[in-house]
Structure 1
Amino acid sequence: MTKETDVDDMDTPEMPANLTFLRRLVTVLTIIMIGGVVTVVALLVIRLNADPAPLPLPDQVTLPDGTTATAFTVGSDWFGIVTENDEVLIYDQVTGTLRQTITLD
């Protein structure tokens, strides 16, 4: 008679301690990397869906009569305002005086 052994009866060899540590380390690092990727994607989605904050028009600027600003940009020592009449008004950033007027075609 042969005695059949169950799979449960067999002794499973124990894993070495350093292999167990390595397995746990890989699992923890995988979880951390998944969390990092989810965080980066969430921050990108939040940042890209946010409305851009418009730059405020400086208080010391007085636009010529009858002009309305449609765009505003800042340079190193100047700022420019595009009007709805297709003109670019370049102002000095320190004094607020009009430096140059450029008419667009």
Structure 2
Amino acid sequence: MTTTPDGDDGAALPANLRFLKGLVTVLTAVMILGVLTIVALLVIRLNADPVPVLVSPGDFALPAGVGAVGISVIDGRTVIVGDDGRVRVYDSESRALLQDIEIGG
């Protein structure tokens, strides 16, 4: 009896093992494609030029005598923390005051 290099002696695999072998092969191919896709997306995303967000506290109408302690841009809104203990939320495009919140006591 002759054997092939992979140890198969000419007998066919049972049907359930052939099915399992096919599933493992498909799973391996899908996993390789998934890893390649993730790597490609990371390369594309990390090589993209960052879009700068240019916002100056001077562009917003703070009350007289109030300075900006902190500024942040979140979802199209600009949040400015004033030195008077108030947080002011402005619309980034129209520069209109949306909300004024008192913090502290």
Report the structure number with the largest CA radius of gyration. Answer: 1
